[in-house]
């Protein structure tokens, strides 16, 4: 679900309320303007008939004065409406700032061209969780997302949860979100960031506290060692081939830090930041020719032998 | 119409038009060279670097009677576009940080590893030699990246390392650093010709 008008948390609810205020006031203004226009047209038409019969049109001081007052009143009303919006904007911002912030979940979000690195910090380094393009949050708890960017300006925007927050390289910022009902909320990079800006999506999954804790605990585990021979060969391909230089799988030799962490890759819903659903067929196409699917992204095309590719798919598919 | 009435003026106008046309054609030609310079070859076939190619670092070759240039045949051929492509060089610059070349060679000034901005090239400064050094590794610390990098990436790195050394055309080199500037950009660095670089291998003529 991806709509500002379908708020799932207090922040988005405030913003949606402001939106509806604007909608109704502007609708009223629109109706009034159109009504005035129609009245003007029909009255002028009726008068035109009269003017045709009497050739001289004299200036009428009372009429001129009435027109002047009407214009002044409309200008005054416009200013009042603008001031009301200014006040509503300030009040909304104030309410957003006052929202409860205790017992918060903290997440570090870093933008890359063109994917999102998501890190759940923990005082114990071994318990840190690193994943990509998918944020899990518990419902009913405020979430502090600390943002930063690695290369260019990106913008974090999950319409159902909050407004936008720019990720400016070298300028860490933060945004508070909260979901009050479970669901999958789609997000999208909202600042043009290059060729694949449109393919830079993310998914926020809000779930109950128990489910969230279970997910977090599962993510903390190192990757399971593959049991069947095919997947074992896949691990070998992963560790000795070109994958490991950029990607990491915790618990193996692969520890590249410049591409998405794949430790629990099979638990994610999409690959390449929401570009493709995470299925073996799509994954195979992505590994062999990512430049065809997402031209310009940092992953090079790889030519693997069919056996190696199948082994790699079996291994990655097992990284639950 | 005025031109028709005044013949001398018409002549000068025509000359002016020819000059404007020539200037436009020149700009158009420039624009086309610009395209070539900035072309992004995303989908280039990128085979795994695979087995490192045997590379000769000396003129001494096993007995090949009467074939003075025969040894050169075994060299991998350089895909010319990379050294002549600004995008490839800037990608090389990104990969240079990503794959931690910086860890030993710093920003070209050297540290644990030899500097890449000076005149000394222990294992040769031509593209093939640098390609081989990356794939095969070199004694005293340079790891072998053969089989770890897509070949496209290796050639991008080669193009960047050569740009660091001052071998790339000035308008191809990266004009600024994305991160904190620890030194001036590649574009501001001194250009070098193949002859001025002390190299283990006699330099081939560089394409211009």
A264-319 pLDDT, tens digit per residue, is 999 999 999 999 999 999 999 999 889 889 998 999 888 888 899 999 999 999 99
The count of CB pairs under 8 A between chains A and B is 44
**Cβ–Cβ gap B42/A245 under 8 Å:** no
The stretch A162-179 carries a mean pLDDT of 92
| Sequence-ordered list of residues with C-beta below 8 angstroms from that of B202, at least 6 positions apart, any chain | B59
For residue B79, pLDDT over 70 is answered with no
CA geometry: angle at A92 spanning A90 and A95, to 5°? 110
CATH topology agreement for domains A105-220 and A229-317: yes
**Cβ–Cβ gap B48/A304 under 8 Å:** yes
Question: What pLDDT digit, counting tens, does each position of A185-235 carry?
Answer: 999 999 999 999 999 999 999 999 999 999 999 999 998 889 899 999 999
Looking at CATH, the fold of the domain delimited by A105-220 is given as Immunoglobulin-like (2.60.40)
The stretch A39-63 carries a mean pLDDT of 73
Query: Measured between alpha carbons, how far is A155 from A165 in angstroms, rounded to an integer?
Result: 5
Q: CB-side exposure of A132: number of CA atoms within 13 Å?
A: 26
The most confident of A168-172, B14-18, B68-72, by mean pLDDT: A168-172
| Confidence (pLDDT) at B19 | 79
Of A245, A258, A296, the CB nearest to B149: A245
Distances (CA, A) of B83 to A209, A265, B36, B96, B163: 55, 37, 12, 15, 8
| Confidence (pLDDT) at B148 | 86
CA distance B1 to chain A (A): 50
Contacting A with CB below 8 Å, chain B residues are 40, 42-48, 94, 98-99, 145, 147-150, 152-153, 178
Q: How confident is the model at residue B76 (pLDDT cuts 50, 70, 90)?
A: very low
Identify all chain B residues contacting A153, using CB atoms and an 8 Å cutoff: none
Cβ neighbour number for residue A291 with a 10 Å cutoff = 18
Longest dimension (CA), chain B: 83
| Confidence (pLDDT) at B199 | 45
**Cβ–Cβ gap A303/B46 under 8 Å:** yes
| Confidence (pLDDT) at A51 | 61
Q: How confident is the model at residue B175 (pLDDT cuts 50, 70, 90)?
A: confident
For residue A178, pLDDT over 80 is answered with yes
Is B6 or A137 the better-scoring residue by pLDDT?
A: A137
A114 torsion bin: left (phi>0), alpha (psi -120 to 50), beta (else): beta
The stretch A244-251 carries a mean pLDDT of 92
Query: Measured between alpha carbons, how far is B164 from A120 in angstroms, rounded to an integer?
Result: 38
For residue B10, pLDDT over 60 is answered with no
CA geometry: angle at A118 spanning A114 and A123, to 5°? 150
| Confidence (pLDDT) at B22 | 81
Query: What DSSP element (H or E) covers A144?
Result: strand A143-149
CB-based contact (8 Å) between A296 and chain B?
Answer: yes
Taking a C-beta distance cutoff of 8 angstroms, is the pair A99, A239 a contact? Answer: no
| Confidence (pLDDT) at A105 | 93
Q: How confident is the model at residue B73 (pLDDT cuts 50, 70, 90)?
A: very low
pTM: 0.78
The average confidence (pLDDT) of chain A is: 90
Taking a C-beta distance cutoff of 8 angstroms, is the pair A173, A213 a contact? Answer: no
Instruction: Report the range of poorest mean pLDDT among A28-37, A41-50, A62-71, A176-185.
Output: A41-50
Burial of A9 (0-12, 13-18, 19+ CB in 10 A): buried
Any idea where the domains of chain A sit in the sequence?
10-98, 105-220, 229-317
Query: What DSSP element (H or E) covers A82?
Result: helix A61-98
Structurally, at CATH architecture level, domain A229-317 sits in Sandwich (2.60)
Question: What pLDDT digit, counting tens, does each position of B193-202 carry?
Answer: 655 554 444 4
| Confidence (pLDDT) at A185 | 94
Distances (CA, A) of B181 to A69, A111, A210, B117, B126: 63, 22, 47, 16, 28
| Confidence (pLDDT) at B17 | 76
Nearest chain A residue to B43 by CA: give it.
A291
For residue A160, pLDDT over 60 is answered with yes
Instruction: Report the range of poorest mean pLDDT among A116-120, A130-134, A272-276, B25-29.
Output: B25-29
């Amino acid at each position: 679900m991806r709509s500002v008008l379908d708020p799932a948390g207090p922040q988005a609810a405030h913003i949606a309320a402001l939106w509806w205020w604007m909608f109704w006031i502007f609708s009223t203004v629109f109706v009034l303007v159109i009504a005035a226009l129609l009245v003007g047209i029909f009255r002028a038409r009726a008068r035109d008939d009269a003017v045709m019969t009497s050739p001289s049109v004299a200036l009428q001081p009372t009429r001129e004065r009435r027109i002047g007052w009407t214009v002044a009143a409309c200008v005054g009303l416009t200013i009042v409406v603008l001031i009301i919006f200014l006040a509503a904007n300030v009040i909304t911002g104030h309410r957003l700032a006052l929202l409860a912030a205790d017992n918060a979940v903290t997440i570090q979000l870093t933008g890359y061209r063109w994917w999102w690195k998501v890190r759940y910090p923990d005082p114990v380094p071994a318990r840190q969780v690193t994943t990509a393009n998918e944020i899990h949050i518990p419902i009913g708890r405020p979430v502090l997302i600390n943002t930063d960017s690695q290369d260019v300006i990106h913008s974090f925007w999950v319409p159902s949860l909050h407004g936008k927050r720019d990720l400016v390289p070298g300028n860490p910022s933060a945004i508070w979100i909260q979901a009050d009902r479970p669901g999958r909320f789609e997000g999208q990079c909202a600042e043009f960031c290059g060729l694949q800006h449109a393919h830079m999506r993310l998914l926020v999954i809000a779930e109950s506290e128990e489910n969230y804790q279970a997910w977090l605990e599962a993510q903390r585990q190192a990757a399971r060692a593959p049991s069947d021979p095919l997947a074992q060969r896949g691990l070998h391909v992963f560790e000795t081939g070109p994958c490991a230089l950029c990607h990491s799988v915790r618990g193996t030799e692969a520890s590249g830090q410049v591409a998405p962490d794949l430790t629990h890759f099979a638990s994610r819903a999409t690959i390449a930041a929401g570009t493709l659903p995470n299925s073996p067929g799509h994954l195979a196409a992505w590994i062999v020719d990512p430049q065809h699917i997402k031209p310009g992204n940092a992953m090079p095309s790889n030519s693997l032998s069919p056996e190696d590719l199948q082994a790699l798919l079996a291994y990655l598919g097992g990284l639950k | 119409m005025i031109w028709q009435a005044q013949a001398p003026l018409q002549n000068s106008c025509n000359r002016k038009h020819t000059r404007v046309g020539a200037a436009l054609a020149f700009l158009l030609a420039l624009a086309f060279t610009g395209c070539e310079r900035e072309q992004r070859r995303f989908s280039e076939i990128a085979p795994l670097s695979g087995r490192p190619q045997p590379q000769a670092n000396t003129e001494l070759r096993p007995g090949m009677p009467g074939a003075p240039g025969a040894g050169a045949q075994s060299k991998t051929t350089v895909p010319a576009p990379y050294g002549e492509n600004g995008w490839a060089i800037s990608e090389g610059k990104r990969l240079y940080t990503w794959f931690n070349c910086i860890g030993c060679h710093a920003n070209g000034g050297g540290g644990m590893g030899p500097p890449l901005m000076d005149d000394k090239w222990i294992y040769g400064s031509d593209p093939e030699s640098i390609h081989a050094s990356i794939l095969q590794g070199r004694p005293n610390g340079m790891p072998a990246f053969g089989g770890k990098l897509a070949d496209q990436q290796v050639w991008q790195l080669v193009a960047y390392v050569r740009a660091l050394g001052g071998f790339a055309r000035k308008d191809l080199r990266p004009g600024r650093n994305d991160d904190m500037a620890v030194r001036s950009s590649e574009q501001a660095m001194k250009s070098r010709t193949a002859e001025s670089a002390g190299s283990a291998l006699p330099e081939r003529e560089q394409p211009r």
